[in-house]
Amino acid sequence: MNRAPLSPAAKRRWAIVYKVFQYTICILLALLSIFPFVIMIVNATRSSDQIQHHALSLIPSHYMMNNMKVLTTKTFHPIRGFFNSAIISVCATALCVYFSTLTAYSIVAYDWKFKKAFFTMIMCVLMIPAQVSSIGFYQFMYKIHLTNNFLPLILPVIAAPATVFFMRQYMIPALPMEIVQSARIDGAGEFRTFNQIVLPMCKPGMATQAIFIFVQKWNDLFLPMILLTEKNKWTMPMMVSQLSGDMYKTEYGAVYLGLLLTVLPIFVIYFMLSKYIIAGVALGGVKE
């Protein structure tokens, strides 16, 4: 690059223009992230009539309870959806984090014959998404009468390759084997050592994973949609998918309110834990 050197004044001016440009783009992108949700929240409080006349408004109205009535008299049951989703997400998260840590510990702490092969297999299935085997999964669950049951949505997370991989990466520097050795000398059983010494030491890593698994399970649509056909078993995202149906075609206010209700828990989690979530993403290996 053979450019003529700029005078100090020109350099300063250029730096200012560059900075203004950067901040403008960043602020526009930030607004782009918020804008849809602001409209959603405001319109959740407005009547369908108001929305039909002016869909874009930043002034909240007072029709929220009215929208709630419209929403819940049809197929949308936010409380039931909330509880169903919560049961699945909480159970799945607890099982996934516990057993993934246990599996990772078996790889890190012990020498066994097929360890390498086992780890290679984990790496291989890491990349293959569950959706491609969903037909066989559904047919199998149908045969053993587990459709319309939460178990097929919860139990499979015990074998979560991505979480095991993450916990292994986390454990190698964070868990000094000397401590495990000294616990052995003190006569603690292996299982007790894991539960009382290893688990507490891995807490930060487990917490990061827990957030992601919870959110992923909460947001999951594909598997619940094929497995749960009884309406009282529906999860939150399934309730949401009802909002695009004909039943709510002109009930704009109710649709926005329904959308708001489904993301409320996620918003709360996100704004409480955003620091950890972003640190977790930076550690990698958390993409779906």
Q: How far is the CB of 94 from other proteins (least distance, A)?
A: 14
CA distance 273 to 267: 10
CB of 203: closest distance to other proteins in angstroms? 18
With 0-12 CB in 10 A as exposed, 13-18 as middle and 19+ as buried, what is 166? buried
Q: How many whole angstroms separate alpha carbon 211 and alpha carbon 273?
A: 9
Site for other proteins in 99-138 (CB under 8 A): 99-100, 102-103, 105-107, 109-113, 115, 118, 123-125, 127-138
Show contacts with other proteins in window 205-264 (CB under 8 A): 215, 218-219, 221-222, 225-226, 236-238, 240-241, 243-244, 252, 255-256, 259, 262-263
- By CB under 8 A, residue 53 contacts other proteins: yes
DSSP of 79-122, one letter per residue? HHHHHHHHHHHHHHHHHHHHHHHHHHHHHHH---TTHHHHHHHH
Kindly identify the residues of this chain, within the stretch 135-154, that bind other proteins according to CB under 8 A: 135-140, 142, 152
Number of other residues whose CB lies within 10 A of the CB of residue 113: 7
Query: In terms of CB distance, is 181 or 232 closer to other proteins?
Result: 181
| Residues in 155-214 at the binding interface with other proteins, rule: CB under 8 A | 155-156, 158-159, 164, 181, 184-185, 190, 194
Terminal CA-to-CA distance of the chain, rounded, Å?
42
Question: Looking up tokens 């408004």, which residue turns up?
Answer: 57
Number of residues in contact with other proteins under rule CB under 8 A:
99
For residue 175, the minimal CB distance to other proteins (Å) is 14
Q: What is the distance of C-alpha 119 from the center of its chain?
A: 25
Smallest distance, other proteins to C-beta of residue 65, A: 20
DSSP string, 21-60: HHHHHHHHHHHHHHHHHHHHHHHHTS-HHHHHH-S--SS-
Q: Which is nearer to other proteins, 36 or 176 (CB)?
A: 36
Q: Which amino acid is at 194?
A: F
Can residue 266 be called a binding residue for other proteins (CB under 8 A)?
yes
Binding of residue 90 to other proteins (CB under 8 A) = no
62/113 with CB nearer other proteins: 113
Residues 30-49 that bind other proteins (CB under 8 A): 30, 32-34, 36-37, 39-40, 43
